[in-house]
Amino acid sequence: MVKIYTTITDRYAPLHQTVIAGTAGEAIHALDGLLGHDSNADLTALHVDGGGVSDIVFATMHLLGLDFEPRIPRLSDRRLYAFEPSKRYGRLAPLFGHRLNRDLIVSHWPDIERVIGAMRDRTVTPSLILKKLSAYRQQNSLAAALREVGRIERTLFTLRWFDDPALRRTVTAELNKGEARNSLARAVAFHRLGRFRDRGLENQQTRAAALNLVTAAIILFNCRYLGHAVEEMRRRGSQIDPAMLSRLSPLGWDRINLTGDYVWSDHLDLDANGLMPLLIKPLP
C-alpha cells in the first residue's frame, strides 16, 4: 500500500508530491515540498496535522527561517522544555519534561549548520537525511542535538498555541483546505477505484503527478469562473464583501464531468475571454 504526500499552498496550488509507503511517517517528508519546488511562491510557514510533527522537523524549519505551525490535537500529551529545573516554574512544573542540554547543542552546532546548508542548497533531499537522523536514538549525538533545538521551538510554539486563538483558527483553516483538496483528488481518482497497482516507483510517481495536474486544472478552471462571476455581479450593482471572497473555495466539481462521455466542439458559445456564459439569473 502506498499514499501520495502532496504539499499545497494556501491557494490550493500543488507544489510537490511524492509517493511514500502507506505505513511511513509523514514528518520526514514535510520539507521536501518546501525546498524541492520550482515555483515562485513565497513560502513562510508549514501547516501539518499530527502525523507530520517531530522535534527534528521543528528544529529544521526554524533553522531554515520558516515557521512550523502544526495542529496540536491533544495538549495533554505535550511537554514543555527549558534549560532550568522544572520546579522553577511552580504550578507548571508537571508540564515540563527533562532539562535541555545546552552543551550538546553547542558542541554539535557546526555539524547542524552543515546539515541545514546541504538542505538549503538542495545537495541532499530533506526526507533522506531526516529519515536517517530520525532512525537513530540517543546513540547519535547529532540527532539528539537537533532534537534539543526542536524541543525549544516546540515549547515556544505550544505556548503560542495556548495563548493565541487566532493561531489555532488559522492552522485549522489551512488544514481544512488540505482535507477539501484531498476530497477532490479522491473524486478524480476513480479509475481502478483510486488504487495504485503499479509496482515501479517511477510509474507511481507519474500517476501521482497526473492526479495533481488534473486537480490543479479543475482548481484553475473554477478560479477563472469565480472571478468572472464576481466581476459580473459587481457590474450589475451587487455589493460583495471582500471578507467573503477569501472564503470562496475553488474545489467544487459538481459541474465537471469526471466520468462518461466527453464532447469536443468547435462551436461552443464562448465570450471574448474564451469563457462559457455564466448561469446567473437576471435581476428583476
Q: What is the DSSP string of 32-69?
A: HHHHH--S-----EE---GGG--HHHHHHHHHTT-EE-
Number of domains in the chain: 1
The pLDDT value given to residue 1: 67
Q: Considering the domain boundaries, does residue 232 fall inside one?
A: no
The pLDDT value given to residue 260: 64
Q: Considering the domain boundaries, does residue 227 fall inside one?
A: no
Q: Considering the domain boundaries, does residue 210 fall inside one?
A: no
Q: Considering the domain boundaries, does residue 280 fall inside one?
A: no
The pLDDT value given to residue 166: 94
Q: Considering the domain boundaries, does residue 229 fall inside one?
A: no
Phi, psi of 67 (to 5 degrees): -90, 135
The pLDDT value given to residue 211: 85
What's the grid cell of residue 86?
A: 522544572
Segments of the chain scoring below 70 in pLDDT: 1, 22-25, 51-52, 134-139, 190-198, 260-263, 281-284
* Separation CA 33–CA 46 (nearest Å): 10
Q: Considering the domain boundaries, does residue 112 fall inside one?
A: yes
Domain span holding position 39: 2-188
Q: Considering the domain boundaries, does residue 277 fall inside one?
A: no
Q: How much is the pTM? A: 0.80
Q: Considering the domain boundaries, does residue 84 fall inside one?
A: yes
